[in-house]
């Protein structure tokens, strides 16, 4: 029987099997940030243990940092202390830190790929659930808790049980105005927010093959929103071209060997998955969420379901979500008022996202009563956007490019959406209070978010195309 | 090394809500601490208090209702989804919970719970709805050794799954780091073989 992509990588990383228990899995790359690492370092220090392989851990400050005036000391005391603790811990344990002010600083899931640290065939972890992003390169990448961060620091290994395997195949061509974020929100609306729990998901099919690396990252990023342990895509020429010549990519002398190995990373024709899902790209439309989990998505031209369309078990949750959102069942979402637009996060803050937004808003102007925050994923994205003149286009349209960080995706810094306000967000979670206590989040693609920034209401981006 | 345990029994707190995500368990604005202590005070913060004011408890939220108490939380399916923040497990433990019962747990939360001596007990949908229909005075018994959960007044019982390795860890208070540190030679050996094969 053939092997899946997941099997091939997993088997190579098993250090030891435990009877009746999990496997000891070797971790190639470990990313850390200021929020989920301090207690892990404290644990190591309490045990008197050193970091086992400091060169395999890379740190950045992203969750808690301000997105304006990053050259000044962080105003909020607890945030500042957390960022300082990261600096101190990295210095003590000889870990490379791309902190505030460093030209490589940025959201951990943006900088790993853009620096060429993320490569096919690797096992990659981080104390952040969106680590699944790195699976877009054909790696096993997943989020872990702080105890597990401590384990990786101490031993470069984790105890892991092998998940079940699911393949989601998407075939056909995406319609105009429909981008990878819509694709993943569409999958979520079909599978639900727990539809892939316990599974590692491989995304495959002609639609996926035709996507850029940035678009693939958006999809793998949100695989955790289906509950998946990780999401992954087999590497191909698009992957190799993206990695080549990046700072930490294999150099000239090693490139051919690396490539030969990476080309073996695919699911064999006769590989068997525990579950298979097939979807058609032509059926997908620009998406928007109406509720309080990412599975509650509909076409931007659709209506919120009516109560009788919801399975009886889910009705309480549905009604609770609509009450929180301040909306009625059965009503259209298009045309509803928007107060804030947030374009950023590890889901959609890469250069391709900013290019899409810029090309859409060029020659248009922001609606007066909408606040728009555009937050690049990294210093390198910010620099590239400036070099391409994207910042100027955005300014002419009435927007401003802020500085890199997680920002309003989780509202840990001062970028919070006020209670009761509606925010169209390119981030990944519309949970109650995610963007600030009482904030109401509508998840959408960068294009759909940009359209709302121009009109001030939920809009169908296709009305502007052609 | 933590304290091991074999049984948890007593009354329980019913939280009949599905897809409880870790942002609800502990909102992001409380993740700024650099220690593991004190998170219990902010457990379910925005469901517990009006306007983020701890002098204004929401009386319709179960943690604020005197009728309910105990070290077992019973919650709707897909508990602990979303963010990987271990602060969610720390806040439940710090508040006083020793076990969470649901029909379905999110993966990362489950690992985090187990790593903090908080027992996730997965039961069937029908058993879960039985639990939600019980009176506030009802008591449960969770036997880790036998892997059973029992409703004391009716004797209704269900078995639950737990990885044999994790069960031993919980019963004896071992943790994974002790184990991983004990096999460092094996890990180094693995690294050498990989280097030889793939360089």
| Confidence label for A20 from pLDDT (cuts 50, 70 and 90) | confident
Q: Give tens-digit pLDDT for B29-69.
A: 999 999 999 999 999 999 999 999 999 999 999 999 999 99
Of the pLDDT bands very low, low, confident and very high (cuts 50, 70, 90), residue A144 is very high
Report chain A's mean pLDDT, rounded to a whole number: 97
- Whether residue A78 and residue B33 make contact (CB cut-off 8 A), yes or no, is yes
* Beta strands across the sheet bearing A157-160: A14-17, A23-26, A157-160
Q: What per-residue confidence (pLDDT) applies to A21?
A: 81
* Confidence (pLDDT) at B83: 96
Reading the block at residue A76, the tokens are 């909020």
Q: At what angle do helices A77-92 and A38-47 cross, to 10 degrees?
A: 40
Q: What is the pLDDT of residue A397?
A: 97
Which of these, B132, B107, B118, B101, lies nearest to B175 by C-alpha position? B118
For the record, the structure tokens of A10 come out as 């997993």
**Inter-axis angle of helices A180-191 and A213-221, to 10 degrees?**
30
Give the model confidence (pLDDT) of A208-233 as tens digits.
Answer: 999 999 999 999 999 999 999 999 99
Q: Over the stretch A244-279, which tens digit does the pLDDT of each residue have?
A: 999 999 999 999 999 999 999 999 999 999 999 999
The answer on pLDDT for B1 being more than 60 is no
Separation CA B145–CA A337 (nearest Å): 56
Could you say which of 3.30.499.10, 3.10.20.90, 3.20.20.140, 3.30.420.10 is the CATH number of the domain covering A5-160? 3.30.499.10
Helix (H) or strand (E) holding B94: helix B87-95
pLDDT higher than 60, residue B199: no
Residue A438 pLDDT:
96
Closest CA to A161 of B1, B78, B162: B162
DSSP-assigned letter for residue A173: P
Least confident of A235-239, A338-342, B192-196: B192-196
pLDDT single digits (tens) A35-49? 999 999 999 999 999
Q: In which band, very low, low, confident or very high, does the pLDDT at B197 lie, cut at 50, 70 and 90?
A: confident
Mean pLDDT of chain B: 95
B165 bridge partner residues:
none
pLDDT of residue A19: 81
**pLDDT above 90 (res A126):** yes
| Residue range(s) in chain A whose domain bears CATH number 3.30.499.10 | 5-160, 288-465
- Per the rule left: phi > 0, alpha: psi between -120 and 50, beta: everything else, A431 is beta
Section A142-169 average pLDDT: 98
Query: Looking at the predicted structure, is the pLDDT value of residue B91 above 90?
Result: yes
Question: What single-letter DSSP state applies at residue A309?
Answer: G
Name the residue among B89, B183, B191 with its Cβ closest to that of A24.
B183
- Report d(CA A412, CA A409) in Å as an integer: 8
**Does the beta-carbon distance from B181 to A49 stay under 8 Å?**
yes
Please list, in sequence order, all residues whose beta carbon lies within 8 angstroms of the beta carbon of residue B112, skipping any fewer than 6 positions away.
A145, A146, A147, B80, B84, B86, B88, B89
Residue whose pair of structure tokens reads 């068997």 in the numeric block: A272
| Residues β-bridged to residue B140 | B10, B151
Residue B82 has pLDDT above 60, yes or no: yes
Q: How confident is residue A314, by pLDDT bands cut at 50, 70 and 90?
A: confident
Across the range A362-383, mean pLDDT stands at 97
Dist CA A243 CA A258 (whole Å): 11
pLDDT value, residue B198: 64
CB-based contact B108 A143, cutoff 8 Å: yes
Contact A148 B111 (CB under 8 A): yes
Closest alpha carbon to A235 in A163, A164, A140: A140
Are A42 and B179 inside 8 Å of each other by CB?
Answer: no
Mean pLDDT of A403-419: 96
Q: How many CB pairs under 8 A join A and B?
A: 184
Given this structure, which CATH class describes domain A288-465? alpha beta
**Angle formed by the axes of helices A446-455 and A351-361, to 10°?**
30
What pairing do the DSSP bridges indicate for beta strands A297-299 and A287-289?
antiparallel
A303 and A327 Cβ atoms separated by less than 8 Å: no
Task: Please give the backbone phi and psi of residue A217, each rounded to the nearest 5 degrees, phi first.
Answer: -65, -40
pLDDT of residue B49: 97
Mean pLDDT, to the nearest integer, of B173-191?
A: 95
Closest partner CB to A227 (pick from B81, B115, B179): B81
Q: Residue A1 above 80 pLDDT?
A: yes
Angstroms from B140 CA to nearest CA on chain A? 24
B147, pLDDT greater than 80: yes
Sole residue written with tokens 């005036």: A69
Average pLDDT value for residue range B58-87:
97
- Between helix B107-114 and helix A146-155 the angle, nearest 10°, is 70
- The sign of the torsion formed by the CA atoms of A350, A353, A357, A358 equals positive
DSSP characters over B99-155 = EEEES-B-HHHHHHHHTTTPEEEE--HHHHHHHHTS-TT-EEEEETTTTEEEETTT-
B30 Cα to chain A: minimum distance (Å): 8
Whole-number percent of chain A with pLDDT over 70: 100
| CB-based contact A20 B86, cutoff 8 Å | no
**What distance in Å separates the CA atoms of residue A447 and residue B41, rounded to the nearest whole number?**
41
Instruction: Find the mean pLDDT for residues B66-84.
Output: 97
User: Nearest CA to CA, how far is A304 from chain B (Å)?
Assistant: 19
Q: Is A45 on the interface with B (CB under 8 A)?
A: no
Q: End-to-end alpha-carbon separation of chain B, Å?
A: 39
For CA atoms A138, A142, A147, A150, give the dihedral sign.
Answer: positive
Q: What are phi and psi of A293, to 5 degrees?
A: -145, 155
B interface test, pick of A145, A160, A261 with most B CB neighbours within 10 Å: A145
Full 3-state SS string of A314-370:
HHHHHHHHHHHHCCCCCCECCCCECCEEEECCCCCCCHHHHHHHHHHHCCCCCCCCC
Residue labelled with tokens 């949100």: A222
Task: Select from 3.40.640.10, 3.40.630.20, 3.30.260.10, 3.40.1060.10 the CATH code of A164-235+262-283.
Answer: 3.40.1060.10
Stated as kind and residue range, the H or E segment containing B75 is strand B72-75
Interface of B with A in 122-181 (CB under 8 A): 163-166, 175-177, 179-181
| Res B196: pLDDT | 83
Q: Which residues pair with A381 in a beta bridge?
A: none
Kindly report, residue by residue over A173-204, the tens digit of the pLDDT.
999 999 999 999 999 999 999 999 999 999 99
The interface predicted TM-score (ipTM) is 0.95
User: Residues A81, A183: contact at Cβ < 8 Å?
Assistant: no
Quick: pLDDT tens for B92-113: 999 999 999 999 999 999 999 9
Compute the distance between CA of residue A151 and CA of residue A51 in angstroms, rounded to an integer: 10
Name the DSSP class of B160: -
CA distance A220 to A298: 20
């Amino acid at each position: 029987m053939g092997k899946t992509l997941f099997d091939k990588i997993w088997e190579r990383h098993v250090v030891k099997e435990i009877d009746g228990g999990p496997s000891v899995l070797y971790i190639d790359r470990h990313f850390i940030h200021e929020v989920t690492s301090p207690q892990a370092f404290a644990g190591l220090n309490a045990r008197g243990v050193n970091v086992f392989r400091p060169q395999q851990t890379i740190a950045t400050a992203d969750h808690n940092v301000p997105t304006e005036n990053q050259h000044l000391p962080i105003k909020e005391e607890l945030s500042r202390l957390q960022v300082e603790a990261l600096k101190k811990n990295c210095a003590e344990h000889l870990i490379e830190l791309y902190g505030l002010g460093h030209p490589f600083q940025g959201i951990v899931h943006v900088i790993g790929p853009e620096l060429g640290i993320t490569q096919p065939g690797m096992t990659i972890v981080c104390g952040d659930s969106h680590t699944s992003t790195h699976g877009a390169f054909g790696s096993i990448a997943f989020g872990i808790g702080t105890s597990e961060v401590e384990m990786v620091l101490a031993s470069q290994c984790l105890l892991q049980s092998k998940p079940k395997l699911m393949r989601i195949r998407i075939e056909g061509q995406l319609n105009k105005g429909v981008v990878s974020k819509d694709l993943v929100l569409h999958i979520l609306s079909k599978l639900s927010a727990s539809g892939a729990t316990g599974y590692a998901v491989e995304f495959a099919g002609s639609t996926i093959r035709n996507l850029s690396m940035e678009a693939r990252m958006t999809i793998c990023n949100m695989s955790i929103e289906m509950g998946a342990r990780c999401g992954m895509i087999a590497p191909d020429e698009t992957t190799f071209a993206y990695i080549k010549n990046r700072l930490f990519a294999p150099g000239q002398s090693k490139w051919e060997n690396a490539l030969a190995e990476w080309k073996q990373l695919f699911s064999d024709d006769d590989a068997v998955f525990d579950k298979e899902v097939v979807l058609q790209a032509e059926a997908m439309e620009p998406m928007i969420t109406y509720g309080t989990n990412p599975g509650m998505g509909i076409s931007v031209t659709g209506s919120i379901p009516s109560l009788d369309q919801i399975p009886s078990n889910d009705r309480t949750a549905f009604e609770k979500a609509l009450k929180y959102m301040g909306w009625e069942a059965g009503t259209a979402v298009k045309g509803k008022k928007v107060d804030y637009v947030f374009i950023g996060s590890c889901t959609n803050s890469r250069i391709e996202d900013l290019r899409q937004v810029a090309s859409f808003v060029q020659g248009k102007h922001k609606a007066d009563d909408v606040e728009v925050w555009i937050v690049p994923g990294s210093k390198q994205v910010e620099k590239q956007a400036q070099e391409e003149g994207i910042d100027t286009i955005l300014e002419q349209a009435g927007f401003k490019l802020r500085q890199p960080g997680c920002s309003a995706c989780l509202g840990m810094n001062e970028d919070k959406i006020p209670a009761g306000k509606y925010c169209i967000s390119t981030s990944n979670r519309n949970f109650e209070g995610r963007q600030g206590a009482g904030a109401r989040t509508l998840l959408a693609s960068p294009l759909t978010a940009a359209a709302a920034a121009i009109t001030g209401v939920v809009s169908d981006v296709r009305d502007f195309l052609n | 090394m933590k304290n091991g345990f074999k049984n948890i029994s007593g009354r329980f707190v019913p939280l009949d809500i599905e897809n409880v995500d870790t942002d609800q368990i502990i909102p992001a604005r409380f993740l700024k601490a650099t220690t593991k202590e004190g998170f219990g005070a902010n457990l379910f913060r925005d469901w517990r208090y009006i306007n983020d004011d701890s002098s204004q408890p929401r009386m319709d939220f179960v943690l604020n209702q005197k009728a309910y108490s105990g070290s077992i939380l019973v919650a709707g399916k897909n508990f602990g989804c979303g963010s990987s923040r271990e602060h969610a497990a720390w806040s439940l433990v710090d508040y006083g919970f020793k076990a969470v019962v649901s029909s379905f747990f999110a993966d990362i939360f489950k690992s985090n719970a187990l790593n903090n001596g908080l027992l996730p007990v997965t039961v069937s949908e029908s058993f879960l709805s039985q639990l939600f229909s019980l009176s506030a005075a009802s008591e449960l018994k969770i036997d880790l050794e036998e892997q059973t959960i029992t409703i004391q007044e009716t004797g209704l019982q269900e078995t639950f799954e737990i990885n044999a390795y994790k069960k031993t860890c919980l019963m004896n208070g071992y943790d994974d780091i002790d184990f991983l540190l004990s096999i460092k030679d094996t890990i180094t050996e693995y690294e050498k073989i990989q280097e030889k094969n793939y360089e």
